[in-house]
């Protein structure tokens, strides 16, 4: 299951999520340009290596954020090929367009597109990338079915989501603190959120139900490094999706209490002036 309730409830959940990510766009653009992209690049390189796009092909990136993963593919499809870089948050699409200009990417187009209902023709693209997107979608079954529809027969989907909470202390320690202080209800493992696709069995079920026959699921480890304590806190308050508005809405004393407790909890990962966290993703290739 995804979000429970009527179609009006689903629609309201989508609207809330879109507003959150529009609000995150500036923060995501800044962190992606700096520390996050350098650390997380191995995930994107893995994805693009597995997609293996050829010159002249069309690659679609879903939930692209500021677009860097797709830009790796844009270089490989060359001037005769095309990248369609998309996100449902207009602010993110604007960030990706700006980033492409900085990186002189000239074979990409940018669209606001909801992955759960894509305004794209059937069999339109040769390959699809989605890094850290499906796990957040209100109805992942709809998103995978739409993905299958717009992907040509034989085309490949490559995506990444986060593996289990205990393998991603950079965020799970904060979630635990927010729950323990009553600022967040205990997370439902299948509700949209960072760990919604952490279970490989659930991933397998969702992806095969959408009509993909062959599936490869691999755990890919990386390190999430923050140069300073402030950079870590800034990420959490300005770019961490649904968590950031919760932190920002706390009264100053409650926010300080969370920050102090978090500081204690992440001591084992202290490195230099900042932090060096292990992180683990579940990366998937489907065909
Ligand atoms: C964690 S960010 C990841 C951004 C980028 N893929 C990256 O790896 O840096 C999640 C992104 O998913 C987008 N998103 C969430 N639900 C979506 C949906 N239904 N359709 C399209 N984009 C969606 C958000 O707007 C946000 O940009």
| In a domain? residue 264 | no
Q: Residue 182 corresponds to which tokens in the numbers above?
A: 């009553």
165 vs 185: CA distance, rounded Å? 16
Residue 87: CB within 6 Å of ligand 1?
A: yes
Of 84, 87, 129, which is best to mutate to test ligand 1, by the most ligand atoms within 8 angstroms of its C-beta?
Answer: 87
Angstrom distances, CA of residue 269 to CA of 36, 76, 177: 17, 37, 17
pLDDT tens across 113-161, in order? 999 999 999 999 999 999 999 999 999 999 999 999 999 999 999 999 9
| Ligand 1 geometric centre to CA of 87 (Å) | 6
pLDDT-derived band of residue 204, with 50, 70 and 90 as boundaries?
very high
Report residue 207: phi and psi, to 5°. -75, -40
List alpha helices for the chain, DSSP H. 7-33, 35-51, 68-77, 90-102, 140-150, 169-180, 200-209, 229-238, 243-249, 252-265
The pLDDT of 171-185, averaged and rounded, is: 96
Quick check: CB of 116 below 6 Å from ligand 1? yes
Encode pLDDT of 17-54 as tens digits: 999 999 999 888 887 677 889 999 999 999 999 999 99
Residue 179 belongs to some domain of the structure: no
| CATH code of the domain in which 107 resides | 3.40.50.150
Average predicted confidence (pLDDT) for the chain: 95
257 in a structural domain: no
Q: What's the CA-to-centroid distance between 227 and ligand 1, angstroms?
A: 25
Provide the residue range defining the domain that includes 105.
7-165+190-223+279-286
CA of 268 to the centre of ligand 1 (A): 30
Looking at the DSSP bridge assignments, the partners of residue 175 are: none
Residue 1: pLDDT band by 50, 70, 90 thresholds?
A: very low
Mind listing the pLDDT tens digit for each residue in 54-81?
A: 999 999 999 999 999 999 999 999 999 9
For the chain, what is the domain count?
1
Contact yes or no for 46/220 (Cβ under 8 A) = yes
| Residue 56, domain member (yes or no) | yes
What is the 272 CA–ligand 1 centroid distance (Å)?
A: 31
pLDDT band at 2 (very low <50, low <70, confident <90, very high): very low
């Amino acid at each position: 299951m995804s979000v429970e309730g009527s179609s009006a409830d689903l629609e309201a959940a989508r609207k809330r999520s879109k507003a959150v990510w529009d609000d995150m766009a500036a923060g995501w653009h800044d962190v992606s340009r700096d520390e996050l992209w350098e650390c997380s690049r191995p995930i994107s390189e893995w994805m693009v290596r597995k997609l293996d796009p050829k010159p002249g092909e069309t690659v679609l990136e879903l939930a692209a954020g500021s677009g860097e993963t797709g830009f790796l593919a844009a270089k490989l499809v060359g001037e005769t090929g095309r990248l369609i870089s998309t996100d449902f948050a207009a602010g993110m699409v604007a960030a990706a367009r700006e980033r492409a200009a900085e990186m002189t990417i000239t074979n990409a187009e940018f669209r606001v597109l909801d992955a759960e209902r894509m305004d794209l023709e059937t069999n339109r693209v040769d390959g699809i990338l989605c890094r850290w997107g499906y796990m957040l979608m209100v109805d992942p079954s709809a998103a995978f079915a739409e993905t299958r529809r717009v992907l040509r027969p034989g085309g490949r989907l490559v995506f990444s989501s986060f593996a289990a909470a205990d393998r991603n202390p950079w965020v799970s320690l904060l979630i635990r603190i927010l729950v323990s202080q009553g600022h967040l209800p205990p997370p439902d493992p299948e509700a949209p959120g960072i760990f919604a696709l952490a279970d490989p069995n659930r991933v397998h079920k969702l992806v095969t139900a959408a009509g993909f026959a062959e599936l490869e699921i691999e755990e890919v480890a990386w390190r999430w490094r923050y140069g300073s304590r402030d950079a870590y806190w800034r990420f959490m308050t300005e770019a961490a999706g649904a968590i950031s508005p919760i932190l920002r809405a706390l009264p100053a004393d409650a926010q300080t209490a969370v920050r102090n407790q978090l500081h204690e909890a992440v001591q084992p990962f202290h490195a230099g002036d900042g932090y060096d966290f292990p992180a683990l993703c579940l990366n998937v290739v489907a065909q």
